[in-house]
Chains A and B, each alone.
Chain A
């Protein structure tokens, strides 16, 4: 849902939020909620969990609003908070991230790029949600959020090496899954 704000800039909106104006806060929320839920969906296992993460994320955003100095886009600042909250939420409610994976992947299959392009977004999302939490987090942070392994190690609480290996494994699994889906959808691939 896109809210047209012909007369307000984000900066003005933020000021009004800082002074506690409820209407402004709601407007800010409505502006970014859908996008942020999209972010949370990648870290959660299902929609309900994603909405919980979203809730926590926004509360943190409003509480720390004064810390936003204007460096970089507000959306980027908000997104970072959302990611951190999602990971924090996941840690609280789930066991420690598993590092071990059952499947032993030596030969990575090659994936047709088009296959991914043609896939429905929701299907891709589903694949990510099916990943083990550890792989999921790392893949999200690296491939989509764009963090470096060093940063990921800090956020998730693992070593850089672990981050790298988990990323590899995540990719391998996803490729497998994509191929499977492709086979189902497009017939048997030779």
Chain B
């Protein structure tokens, strides 16, 4: 048996050991590609990742700019801010005061009716405010004289004046007018002392007295939703507590 086995093996061996077969040309191409192509491949990758990063950043930028639902207002100084705005003018730079107009106003008045409780805290980066800052003021045509002054957002193609708009002013201790925005509708000169409160919904005090205030201000800049990601309220002794949280799925608000 063993002899047979060994011979058997040997027979197979002698026939097959030197068996040769020419491979197809593709094999070498693949080998060469693997050996040298790697360098070429690697050079593409960095470009792809750079391009991807740019696209992502651009998308984020677009996303945030589209998020704007309300007027951007940049109050400048506290205290007396007086602005004169001509009627039927939509220019943004028509102010005497140091009020700075925010360029991004995309919200249409029709939607504003629903968002009357909205108010935004806007803080100019260079301004140090130690008082409650500003609120957006929206104006109603009808109530122009009787009500506190409300001003529509500019740059909106306001269709018909007949639209009633919410009035919302929340001055705090001393009122400091923040935004005055020109638009097609009538506008009036406003002085801080003439502002009266018309609060339809409770409004939070805002100020940068504390870390919470600062965080709240920053969040407000970015988060344009009605209920922000996180909202702070100042407690008595300049501390701040969280009064609101909005994580999409979870919404909590202290009133």
| Chain A interface residues toward B at CB < 8 A | 1, 22, 25-26, 29-30, 33-35, 37-38, 41-42, 47, 50-51, 54-55, 58-59, 62-63, 108, 110-111, 113, 116-117, 119, 121, 124-125, 128, 139, 142-144, 171, 174-175
B237 close to A (CB within 8 Å): no
Could you say which of A35, A54, A63, A116 contacts B27, with CB atoms under 8 Å apart? A54
Contacts of B236 in A (CB 8 A): none
Given contacts A22-B36, A41-B21, A51-B23, are A171 and B31 in contact (CB under 8 A)?
A: no
A128 CA / B12 CA spacing, docked (Å) = 10
What distance in Å separates the Cβ of A36 from its nearest Cβ neighbour in chain B? 8
Mask, B20-51, CB within 8 Å of A = 1, is 11111011101110111000000000000000
Check A34 against B13 for contact (C-beta < 8 Å).
no
B173 close to A (CB within 8 Å): no
A34 CA / B15 CA spacing, docked (Å) = 15
Could you say which of A33, A108, A116, A124 contacts B23, with CB atoms under 8 Å apart? A33
| Chain B interface residues toward A at CB < 8 A | 1, 4-5, 7-9, 11-13, 15-24, 26-28, 30-32, 34-36
Contacts of B8 in A (CB 8 A): 111, 116, 143, 171, 174-175
Check B13 against A110 for contact (C-beta < 8 Å).
no
Given contacts A29-B31, A34-B23, are A42 and B11 in contact (CB under 8 A)?
A: no
A87 CA / B114 CA spacing, docked (Å) = 72
Could you say which of B7, B13, B27 contacts A144, with CB atoms under 8 Å apart? B13
29 A-B residue pairs with Cβ-Cβ distance under 8 Å, sorted by A, are A25-B32, A29-B28, A29-B31, A30-B28, A33-B22, A33-B23, A33-B28, A34-B22, A35-B18, A35-B20, A37-B21, A38-B16, A41-B21, A42-B16, A47-B21, A51-B27, A54-B23, A62-B35, A108-B4, A113-B11, A116-B8, A116-B15, A119-B15, A121-B15, A128-B16, A143-B12, A144-B17, A171-B5, A174-B12
Given contacts A38-B20, A110-B4, are A124 and B31 in contact (CB under 8 A)?
A: no
Check B16 against A121 for contact (C-beta < 8 Å).
yes
What distance in Å separates the Cβ of B251 from its nearest Cβ neighbour in chain A? 52
Contacts of A62 in B (CB 8 A): 31, 35
Check B16 against A125 for contact (C-beta < 8 Å).
yes
A111 CA / B5 CA spacing, docked (Å) = 10
Check B12 against A144 for contact (C-beta < 8 Å).
yes
A50 CA / B9 CA spacing, docked (Å) = 22
Contacts of B16 in A (CB 8 A): 38, 42, 121, 124-125, 128, 144
A50 CA / B23 CA spacing, docked (Å) = 9
Check A37 against B23 for contact (C-beta < 8 Å).
yes
Could you say which of A35, A113, A119 contacts B7, with CB atoms under 8 Å apart? A113
Given contacts A29-B28, A34-B23, A51-B23, are A124 and B12 in contact (CB under 8 A)?
A: yes
A29 CA / B30 CA spacing, docked (Å) = 12
Contacts of A35 in B (CB 8 A): 18, 20
Closest to B1 in A: A108
Check A59 against B35 for contact (C-beta < 8 Å).
yes
A174 CA / B4 CA spacing, docked (Å) = 13
Check B28 against A116 for contact (C-beta < 8 Å).
no
A62 CA / B21 CA spacing, docked (Å) = 21
A24 CA / B235 CA spacing, docked (Å) = 80
What distance in Å separates the Cβ of A74 from its nearest Cβ neighbour in chain B? 17
Check B19 against A116 for contact (C-beta < 8 Å).
no
